[in-house]
Structure 1
Amino acid sequence: MADSDSEDDYMKMTFDDAPKDPQHETSLQRAARKRKEGEARSRQKSKAECEAEAELVREASLATALPETNKGFKMMAKFGFKQGDTLGKSETAQKEPIQIEIKEGRAGIGVESEKKRKYQEMWDQARREAKRAKEEEGNFFEERRQQQKERKAERDLDNAQRTAERLAEKEAEAENNGGAKEQHLTDINVLWRSRARHQIEHEHDRRLKNELTNSLASRLPTLAQEDNENDNDSKTALGHDVTPFYSTLENELEDEDPELAEFEALPVSERLQKILTFLRETYKYCLYCGHVYEGATMEGCPGVTEEDHD
């Protein structure tokens, strides 16, 4: 058994049957190698490859420290310079050499910085214009919202004035047992007096237009002699009436109304607020609810303004 252990285990035996490389290059291998080297030398490198090789050489040169055998290093060493130190007495000075920036193109020195400055100005101008456009857009939408809000307030004001006028007329008819009482323009409440004035102006314009249409004879030249025996209608028919056709409409409108002018000068929202408050306090009526409440507290109404009813 011992003899068998001392013998080599055939399972662990290795056989090196792989062919070994020849120690000497054959003529075929030499010819192939020379052919490849010749092709590599004869191939003209591209511009990108030349620039890449030059970049590698430059980086390798910059990464290599100045050897102590260099004449320049020996001269600096006489003044106390050591490898890794900064030049001069300042300890915060730059230790690494200034990086080389390869200038590309044929433009003069400073052109790139000028281009960068112009581009920066263009970007700044574009940002300012975009900001201004955004502000103008915001102002435009804000103005549109404000205009829509004012138009809505004007419609609400007209509805409130019409409602107040109708309720006041009903109350006056009830007091006069169904009869209408003629009122002077200044006796009408200033909250809806403008409606009455507009009606009078509209009626004035209508009558004026009718008289302009129906008074052609009064504008014709008077050729016949005046006849005192004819009545006024005959004179007008014959064109003898020289009285101006608009005389019947003179002084029909009231004089200036300072109280109404002062009320109309108020903003629409303030006028609307006044008449809404009047309707609630006098008639217990809410314009936005469209209902007349019984109690003075108007229980169930959310508020005075339209926003309260949203």
Structure 2
Amino acid sequence: MANHANSGMPRRLGEATSSTEVPAALESHPLGGRRLVVRVGDGEMPLFEDQPILDSLRSPWHGLILEMHHHRGCEIPVHDHETLCLHLQTGGQVDMDWFCSGKTGRTRSVPGSMMLLPAGTRDSVIWHGSTQRMVAGIEPSLLKDAAEQMGIKGLFDFNLKWSFRDQQLEALLNEMNREMRSGFATGGLYGDLLGMALSVGLIRRYGELSHRIPSFKGGLSRPHINRILGYIEENLSDGIRLDDLAVLSSLSRYHFARSFRESLGETPYQYILKKRIERAKTLLRQPRTAVADIARSTGFSDARQFARMFRKITGVSPAEWRRNA
């Protein structure tokens, strides 16, 4: 692996002179662990030196980690990405020099600018100023699973992009950021749907495919609808996941989510949230039932989350709705 002496690049402050000398022998973390990391020589280091402003450590997401950073001008030395890395700049304007596969370039990054670095990319960059950005790391297994559920065979790589705009991916990352800021209040099912939507969007737009992406037509059969809605009704107090529902329909998660929406006109998350609020209204009519108990019995993590989602759907707090019921 090349080092800084050969590349002619300045070192990050306090960094060892060889790219194989990893600071403090960073312990290896699986994706979804404490930090988003890259490989340097035989070890690992955080992608950014400073701690993230916000991260998905406590999220219910699988195969996906998201960090929000406000980082200073710096150099990130030669490193390897073991997972797909997707950047979205949210603040600041900065020039960045990149070095990858014997090529160099400079790009100006502004709010809304994105970068897509596929797993296996070896690169180094120099940021010439401060910037705020979200960075998502996505495991190959998550993308492979999404591709298989879409009926795609032969997905083998993604196109590296140093600067591009994509409104759909930007909206998904911003929604994930909102989820982080809320403490992942909407739970695992919504996270499953966000992760699936992000994976599908990446594959459809930037995946190099050996087969054309198939179309999908048709909703759920009536027996499947009855089975799924019955399951939801019986398990509203529990954490229902997308996998749980897909199994009942004998479909992949991707095809199930599309079929459910085609059949009922709303996503599984929207339907379940509506049913939980309906059950909560029934319980609120019982004056001796505490709001905290209603929250638990309708599948919300706590009374605060319940109150926020109840107000979002009805426009009033649970207490106000109870007084007027």
For the aligned pair, the TM-score class normalised by the smaller chain equals under 0.3
Normalization by structure 1: what TM-score? 0.20
Q: Over alpha carbons, which structure has the higher Rg?
A: 1
Higher strand fraction (1 or 2): 2
TM-score by length of 2: 0.19
More helix by share: 1
